[in-house]
Amino acid sequence: MEFKDIFSQRLQTLRKSAGENQEALGAVIGIGKTGVSEMENGRKTTTAEKIALICRHYNVTADYLLGLTDCPRPLNGEEPVNRDVNREVFGARLRELRNEKKETQRDLADFLGVKQNQVGEMENGRKASTFAKLAMLCEHYNVSADYLLGLTDERRSLRKGEAL
């Protein structure tokens, strides 16, 4: 099953479990009922910022929502960091991870299948990561989406038993 399919299924399940309609969820993340419907039916994905808003709203990890783990809450039960989700935090963490791995922006762009300037725009907070690219970055750097999005300051490994 692809990330998009898992995301769609889990989003709909979370919304229905909370007793919300699509319009209510849309109001939380700043889109209309049709946009939520398209995400739940796999016709549309969303931005990293909206993923973070969904996670906060339903109190689940981004890793769970993206299908990177089957555990819907942080393993240690921590509360999400109370800060606005912003592209600057994401960009700074992406740059830090890339530098630690001694990769150039070109290396990362080639891995993601984008142009080098798009990596620079993400790192400088001018461009949001797409849903699919976020999942690729988490797997590539073996780090939780929650960390990349700034939902937590704890840098957890995606792979069990593996230290960062």
In the chain, what are the domains?
Answer: 3-66 (1.10.260.40), 87-149 (1.10.260.40)
Q: What is the pTM of this model?
A: 0.77
19, 119, 135 from 105: Cα distances, Å: 43, 6, 18
End-to-end CA distance of the chain: 27
- The pair of three-digit structure tokens given for residue 93, joined into one six-digit string: 């963490």
pLDDT (tens place) for every residue of the chain, 164 residues total: 687 899 999 999 999 999 999 999 999 999 999 999 999 999 988 888 899 899 989 988 898 998 888 887 764 555 555 455 568 889 999 999 999 999 999 999 999 999 999 999 999 988 878 878 888 999 999 999 889 988 888 887 876 544 44
Q: How many CA atoms lie within 13 A of 98 on its CB side?
A: 21
Integer Cα distance of 135 and 138 in angstroms = 5
Integer Cα distance of 102 and 123 in angstroms = 15
Q: Quick one: DSSP state of residue 47?
A: B
**C-alpha dihedral sign at 91, 95, 96, 97:** positive
DSSP code string of 87-118 = HHHHHHHHHHHHHHTT--HHHHHHHHTS-HHH
